[in-house]
Amino acid sequence: MNIEVLRDVQESIKADANDIRAALDVQGIRMFNLMGGDGCGKTRLLERLLPKLAGDVRCAVLEGDITTTLDAERIARVNVPVVQLQTNGCCHLEPSLIRGGLDRLPLNELDIIIVENVGNLVCPAEFDIGEHARIAVLSVTEGHDKPAKYPLLFSRADAVIISKMDLLEYTNFDLEQCARNIRLVNANAPIFEDSAEWKLDPAFLKWLAAMPASCA
Amino acid sequence: MHEFSIARSICRIALEEAERHGASRITAVCVEVGTMRQVVPELLKTAFEAAGSGTPLEGATLELQAAPVEATCNQCGHVSHCETLQMNCERCDSSDVQFAGGNNLRVNSIRVAEEVCHEH
Ligand SMILES: Nc1nc2c(ncn2[C@@H]2O[C@H](COP(=O)(O)OP(=O)(O)OP(=O)(O)O)[C@@H](O)[C@H]2O)c(=O)[nH]1
Ligand SMILES: [Mg+2]
Ligand SMILES: [Zn+2]
């Protein structure tokens, strides 16, 4: 006998994520999901961004990694509250882990939480973790074809950062082709260029600040 | 690797539905997978078998149905449906194409072995 079901496979994860988002909305906190391949420069970006925001915006970080607390130690050095989330072999973060991390943060003293997801272009994109916006990071050393090869991450991104621009001249990375590949799956997300040797793009800082808390 | 998480969710939904219909054995689960979703069918099937073993899903087959992505040409307006991301418009060959949809991940139906004995 055939039974019609028509249920979203991720219904319970989405419900958990929506609960997290609603709880953050009540607190007036915006949460960002920072995603990108391993080593694309996510933590390095945070090390530069967080001191820049200090004073204006109260930030905290949830660091997702398969193992080790190395990234959380780097964030702690810039004096920002940080919780290391270890997935113990799992390739992505899910709402249940995020909830545990949020419980350990001083939520009533925060404006922004940035979650650094596990370095991986595939799996993290599949899971809503209760964020308000997603930031995809792609380094020029990974190649301009990646948005076409890993479309889900880029299709769901609210902003894309092309990182390690100082290395552009040593690669065959084609910025125009990359933008075209992003536009194949994402018509609107702003694309920012960045390098650890540059100042942060003011347009990116403006984008971060403009994202209101309830715009899930 | 995220296939294991997805397989667990599929199994939970299938088991809930079977129980609701008073069925004690599930023979197949039909899942729609959008083209944009990066699910490796072989991995998902292996994970599904592992997650279902020792439950009414033991021995059930996982049937995956591809849900196409919609490609709209920004030059000529032609809309096509494809199961891989084709980079060029099939009508005018422009590379100025916009993809949308293909994000579904849905349990469409299950097949169960027994007749329904009681409805709730
Ligand atoms: N040349 C150059 N190197 C960079 C830049 N940003 C980061 N790196 C280097 O790239 C390496 C990886 O940077 P991380 O910030 O650890 O990258 P990540 O994305 O956090 O890595 P995972 O968390 O392991 O996925 C480090 O050696 C960084 O110093 C950049 O803009 N230019
Ligand atoms: Mg890192
Ligand atoms: Zn066309």
Per-residue pLDDT of chain A (216 residues; tens, 9 = 90+): 999 999 999 999 999 999 999 999 999 999 999 999 999 999 999 999 999 999 899 999 999 988 888 999 999 999 999 999 988 888 899 999 999 999 999 999 999 999 999 999 999 999 999 999 999 999 999 999 999 999 999 999 999 999 999 999 999 999 999 999 999 999 999 999 999 999 999 999 999 988 765 544
Interface pTM, i.e. ipTM = 0.88
The pLDDT mean for chain B works out to: 91
Please give the structure tokens belonging to residue A147.
């948005």
Residues above pLDDT 90, as percent of chain B: 75
Instruction: Look at residue A216 in the predicted model and tell me its pLDDT.
Output: 42
The response to whether residue A43 sits with its C-beta less than 6 Å from ligand 1 reads: yes
Residue B102 pLDDT > 80: yes
Is B99 within 8 Å of A7 when comparing Cβ atoms?
A: no
Neighboring chain A residues of B72 at a CB cutoff of 8 Å: none
Please give the structure tokens belonging to residue A183.
């536009």
Residue B17 host element (H or E): helix B3-20
Look at residues A91, A143, A84 and name the one whose alpha carbon lies nearest to residue A115.
A84
Residues 6+ apart with CB under 8 A from A120: A37, A38, A91, A92
Our mutation pick for probing the ligand 1 site, out of A38, A42, A44, counting the most ligand atoms within 8 A of Cβ, is A44
The fold for domain B3-66+102-112 equals: hypothetical protein PF0899 fold (3.30.2320)
The residue type of A106 is P
All domains in chain A, ordered by first residue: 11-206 (3.40.50.300)
